Structure 1
Amino acid sequence: MDSGDQSSGALGEAVVFLDHFRDLVDGRQLAKVMYPLEEILLLALLGVLAGAETFVDIARFGEKKLDFLQRFRPFAAGTPSHDHLGDIFATLDAEQFQQCFVKWVASLTGTCAEVIAIDGKTSRRSHDKAGGKAAIHMVSAFAARQRLVLGQVKIDEKSNEITAIPRLLAMMDIEGAVVTIDAMGCQRVIAQTILDKKAEYVLALKGNQTALHEDVALFVAEQKERNFHECKISQNTTVDGDHGRIETRATTVIHNLDWLPKDHRWPGLKAVIIVDSIRETGDKATHETRLYLTSLQLPAEQLGAIVRHHWAIENSLHWVMDMVFRDDECRVRTEHAPANFTTIKHMAHNLLRSAPGKDSMRLRRKVAAWDDDFLAAIISR
């Protein structure tokens, strides 16, 4: 992205995020470019912050808010149509766009996240039946405590999360963090990648690791019968109540597992975490046991908290993307546009999450639409 020799502030009010997208390649023929790429990115982000959910919405935002946009950049040619916006986002390289995003969010957080939850999400309306294209599926990394998206990659149509997760990890500085992933990411190569980047892991163990899961489940069942007399363990119990539901989680960590990493050649494995949960709603109770592998040697209280942190990506990201940003209703489908539009929404999520005050995400987005000064302050961070 060619922004010349001028600083962000020289062209108007400061727009901090654009500094991290200067290396984004604009593949358009420069002689025909009416709308500079930095203006396109600024327009899209401001529009989404203020409630836009489609390129049609963003184009109308540009028409109605041209004077506001010119506080930051010239917009000498005005703002583009929705078709033009769609074409530009379709041709921008999604991987490079995401790499710029990772650099930006690293500057926003300042320090490495303590727990990084990795999980995938499908935008259901992004499929194209006529073109034979499946719905877009993105794998995201989420800072559980800070509640910020750290990075994301699009899964190739003929691939899955197993190949996407190492690509996502390679983009980020995760040294010192604990990476949590559901069962799809419970793979030796992913565990080794995390260790190679000087981080630790907590990985959900289910039937996709057939032999390993069977051995661990049998071992755990035997030890429960013997009250764990043959094991070095730590235990912790928590009780949470919300919306008429009570959930009791008993976490047991088996710390002496020398035989397991040897038999299954599992890198860095130090302990197995067992979470027995009982959910009580009225007069009904359900019981579930979940197993996790970890490279950490921590007591059950801390490991149980890390397991719970993983679900922040469901409650504080996926739910917000669907309910606040209407992600499941998004019909952007062409080439790189779905992945790039998701990245713009993740940027908006992070900026709204970081904004001061106690308003909900939904209300902050409404205020961004109503109050130009609030909207300007969000992107000046």
Structure 2
Amino acid sequence: MAASVRLDVKDILRHFKPLEDRRSSVNLLHPLDSLVVIAIMAVLAGANGPTASAKWANRKAEVLLKLLELPHGIPQKDVFRRVLATLKPDAFQACFTMWLTALRAAAAEATGVERPTLAIDGKTLRRSHDRRRNLGALHSVSVWASEFGLTLAQVATAEKSNEITAIPTRLSLIDIHGAIITIDAMGTQPAIAEKSMDGGGDYLLARKGNQGTLHDAAIDSINEQTKTDFRGIGARRWDTVEKKHGRIARRTYLQMPAPKSLPGFDRWKGLLSIGIAFLWCIRDGKETTEVRYFISSLPVKVKQFAHAVRSHWGIENRCHWCLDVTYREDESRIRDEHLRENFAWLNRLTLSLLKQHPGKDSVAMKRRACGWNDDYGSLHKFCNTGLDGK
């Protein structure tokens, strides 16, 4: 999937005009909006921190001086470090709202997807800790529009257990109307279900033992229905077989109305269905099986349920995997609290841009092209041409 949004540097610059510049008066040699745009371009081209951003900018000085207001020349690495360390992450991300909204609308039009899956999951930057300052590794929660390849929001949490409080905060900042919110078992909380419904969306929440009696009762209800092969209760089934990369995967999806007799039924706003996803997989003669359980505000439409279950893993396969392998994010040693969070956001933003690019090359090759080709100094060209410049 690729969508085209006509943006040039001037369009992008205006998004950052309202951003509060927290630098002292003696450090205002370089316009803030120009610095941010250079940082975006540099990360697109493969930069992984302030030093790499400055080196890329110096190598592209000729084109940058024509594109941007830079009265004192190309900023040095300390400038990038100071600026991105002083910007408040929430305010920084807020500047991208209109841009991401435009990208999302274009992607929806290009794909015809009316009900996108918004997958929510956390990721830890394993080497971003600083023991001397008692600073733990950065753990961030992202909202990923699976069908569009877009990260819509990110929030940092002190640790993984704090995802529960972070998720409702982020959902309130994006348009979730008509979307299907998917979360793993840690995020299966009544408050998150309510937030999804209040925003005009639906939820599909994984269940494990952390839901106590609800989880056990749902399994008991499902097991009871297996005795009659789910007849007479409005259950639906969908089977798929996939053969790829030397692996055979058989998936069975079952969805049925949620019994109102389930313990705690009334705590889950809009609860309509419960579902099961079975996976049987064989590779190199080794057989594995997996069973997952879900609660949802979706009506019993098993193909829709199956699509949402599969789409949730896009945040792992198409987002987190790229951040680890292509961006090498786990190896980042940026330790300043705001700086590491702002660079994590730039990684996710630029990955989203690369996913929208119509070229068929890999994300890694697209990043190389951004560094090789001076035409990529213009994000207008980046968003609207192939890697060959056509």
Q: Could you tell me the TM-score, scaled by structure 1's length? A: 0.92
The size of the alignment, in residue pairs, is 370
The reply on whether 1:25 has 2:20 as its aligned counterpart is: yes
Q: Which residue of 2 aligns with 1:342?
A: 344
Deviation sequence 1:73-104 (CA, Å, 0-9, x none) = 13121233323321211110111112222332
* One-letter identity of the residue aligned with 1:68: V
Q: 1:249 to 1:128 in 2, by over 3 A?
A: same
The reply on whether 1:274 has 2:276 as its aligned counterpart is: yes
Query: In the alignment, which of 55, 72, 75 is matched to residue 67 of structure 2?
Result: 72
Q: Which residue of 1 aligns with 2:387?
A: none
Structure 2 residue runs of 5 or longer lacking an equivalent are 1-6, 109-113, 385-390
- The more displaced of 216-225 and 86-95 is 216-225
Q: Could you tell me the TM-score, scaled by structure 2's length? A: 0.90
Query: In the alignment, which of 343, 363, 370 is matched to residue 365 of structure 2?
Result: 363
Q: Which residue of 2 aligns with 1:229?
A: 231
Q: 1:41 to 1:380 in 2, by over 3 A?
A: farther
Contact 1:113 1:146 in 2 (8 A): no
Contact 1:101 1:151 in 2 (8 A): no
Separation (CA, whole Å) in 1 of partners of 2:375 and 2:45: 12
Separation (CA, whole Å) in 1 of partners of 2:80 and 2:10: 20
Deviation sequence 1:161-214 (CA, Å, 0-9, x none) = 101101110110111111111111100000000100010011111111112111
Separation (CA, whole Å) in 2 of partners of 1:243 and 1:380: 32
Query: In the alignment, which of 26, 43, 52 is matched to residue 57 of structure 1?
Result: 52
Identical aligned residues as a percent: 37
Contact 2:13 2:34 in 1 (8 A): no
Correspondences of 1:161-310 after superposition (within 5 Å):
161-229=163-231, 231-260=233-262, 263=265, 265-310=267-312
Q: 1:29: how far off?
A: 2.4
Separation (CA, whole Å) in 1 of partners of 2:172 and 2:321: 26
Q: 1:141 to 1:378 in 2, by over 3 A?
A: farther
Q: 1:373 to 1:113 in 2, by over 3 A?
A: farther
Q: 1:375: how far off?
A: 4.2
Q: Which residue of 2 aligns with 1:154?
A: 156
Contact 2:118 2:182 in 1 (8 A): yes
Q: 1:249: how far off?
A: 0.7
Separation (CA, whole Å) in 2 of partners of 1:132 and 1:378: 44
Q: 1:158 to 1:145 in 2, by over 3 A?
A: closer
Contact 2:235 2:300 in 1 (8 A): no
Q: Output the aligned Cα RMSD.
A: 2.0
Contact 1:236 1:300 in 2 (8 A): yes
Contact 2:63 2:377 in 1 (8 A): no
Contact 2:125 2:138 in 1 (8 A): yes
